[in-house]
Amino acid sequence: MIEVKNVTFSYYEESETDTKNNEPVPVALENVSLHISEGEFVSIVGRNGSGKSTLAKLLNGLIVPKTGVVTVAGMDTVNDETIFDVRKTVGMVFQNPDNQIIGTTVEEDVAFGPENLGVPTEEMHKIVAEAIETVGLTKFSKTEPHLLSGGQKQRAAIAGVIAMRPKCIVLDESTAMLDPIGRREVMSVIEKLNREEGITVILITHHMDEVAMTGRSILMNDGKISFDGTPRELFSNTKLVHDSGLELPQPAYLMELLGLDTGIISPEEAADKIASMLRGGNHVS
């Protein structure tokens, strides 16, 4: 579905190099290779400035690699003729919901994308209603978006993206500004899109409990991928987690404090392990 091959990206041109001091051009991504298959639910983590957003923007052609290749469903993102299809295939949801709202009602806002694609009116009503229903905002269809809560606004933004029928959605810290309820609402919509509609999801986040919900986690360090595996594998590697400026999710952190295996992903799992040790008379030292 998505192929990133030996990609290096810099926000600066070679000509901007400080030739006097022979400073190298700072690179945001360095020789990154990555394959994402259809239907995957992938999280991308890493400290501020590690290159997560840069990678996200490369995936739908908002920026193109300096060296290397990014292809989306076989389309090279540098190709101007297919860039429109690339953007339709990979939808993006950003951090601030207020910057993503255009319409005066939720319905109008969600219709913006398909309208631009030239979808006939009849069909558009159906697509828009379905997208709004998927994110659970049907009763707010005629509501002015600015009256919605943060979580509802982000769900409206997601509806706007899914109305374009993308194969993949990239969410760049889309839950960062939300309270726990808003976050849960958005995560449950994303999970449903992946599980029920088979949409590939790429979730950039600093919340490790969200990482635990994904099937695969990619860790960025200094513009490079320093880990690619399951969240369970990531959490078991406490040294890597700490060295990368991340925190374990709470249940795994509890296990770490107890000196136990941190490769768990849910509070229930932690509770089960501790309970069974207590039943077995083992000391949790």
Q: How far is the CB of 13 from ligand ATP (least distance, A)?
A: 11
The span of 49-57, 120-128, 144-152, 251-259 binding ligand ATP (CB under 6 A) equals 49-57
- Residues in contact with 158: Cβ distance below 8 Å, sequence separation at least 6, in sequence order: 93, 135, 169, 171, 174, 186, 189, 190, 193
Which own/partner pairs from 34-37 qualify as long-range (CB within 8 Å, at least 24 positions apart)?
34/2, 34/3, 34/4, 34/218, 34/225, 34/228, 35/2, 35/3, 35/4, 36/1, 36/2, 36/3, 36/168, 36/200, 36/202, 37/1, 37/200
Q: How far is the CB of 57 from Mg ion (least distance, A)?
A: 9
Answer with the entry of ligand ATP, Mg ion, none that 11 interacts with (C-beta below 5 to 8 A by kind): ligand ATP
Exposure letters 28-44 (e unless 16+ CB within 10 A, then b): bbbebebebeebbbbbb
Q: Per-residue x/- mask for ligand ATP, residues 18 to 47, rule CB under 6 A?
A: ----------x-----------------x-
51 contributes a contact to ligand ATP by CB under 6 A: yes
Answer with the entry of ligand ATP, Mg ion, none that 99 interacts with (C-beta below 5 to 8 A by kind): none
Mark residue 179 as left, alpha or beta (left: phi above 0; alpha: psi -120 to 50; beta: remaining): beta
**Nearer to ligand ATP (CB atom), residue 163 or residue 219:** 219
**Nearer to ligand ATP (CB atom), residue 112 or residue 227:** 227
**Nearer to ligand ATP (CB atom), residue 46 or residue 249:** 46
Q: How do 2-9 and 67-72 pair as beta strands?
A: antiparallel
Residues 52-71 that bind ligand ATP (CB under 6 A): 52-54
Q: How far is the CB of 51 from Mg ion (least distance, A)?
A: 8
The residue from 19, 48, 121, 285 that contacts ligand ATP (CB under 6 A) is 48
